[in-house]
Amino acid sequence: MGRKKVELTEEQIIQFKALACFLSLDQIADYFEMTRKTLGRIRHDDESIDTLYKSSKQRGNARVGQALLKSALEGNTTAQIFYLKTQAGWKETTINEVVDKTPPQKKMTTEELQAELETMGVKVVEI
């Protein structure tokens, strides 16, 4: 004998719609005291629940997006930067420039090089 099939009541569906716009599926499952897997099965078995979740999530995202855009247009620099980074492809880049500050080396003749090596104790042997 299997477990009893869990379904959402009409009241739970109303709550689900309200919660879906700002909670994750894991959080909604916790709210209804069920596993994430059970909630997934409910969404799979009842397409209207899945559609309700997606549309509520999109509505919530749209409301937050409108508030963000309004804030950005009203001069909130942080909102402007965030909006441009996420919507217009802006990104901060750091350019690391390597500068060689060693003085240029003087070109030496073979004789000068041999003399320099001998002052360092290196004996040059011709082959």
Please indicate, yes or no, if residue 95 is contained in any of the structural domains.
Answer: no
What is the number of domains present in the chain?
1
Cα–Cα distance, 25 to 16 (Å, whole number): 10
The domain of 51 spans 10-87
- What pLDDT shows up at residue 45? 94
Structural domain includes residue 115: no
- Residue 1 included in any domain: no
What pLDDT is recorded for position 115? 85
CA distance 28 to 10: 16
In a domain, 53, yes or no: yes
Domain assignment present for residue 54? The answer is yes
Which tokens sit at 126?
A: 């011709």
CATH of the domain at 76: 1.10.10
pLDDT digits (tens, 9 = 90+) for 32-57: 999 999 999 999 999 999 999 999 99
Contacts of residue 31, defined as CB under 8 A and 6 or more positions apart, other chains included, come to 15, 19, 23
Is residue 34 in some structural domain? yes
Measure Cα distances from 119 to 51, 114, 115 in Å: 85, 9, 6
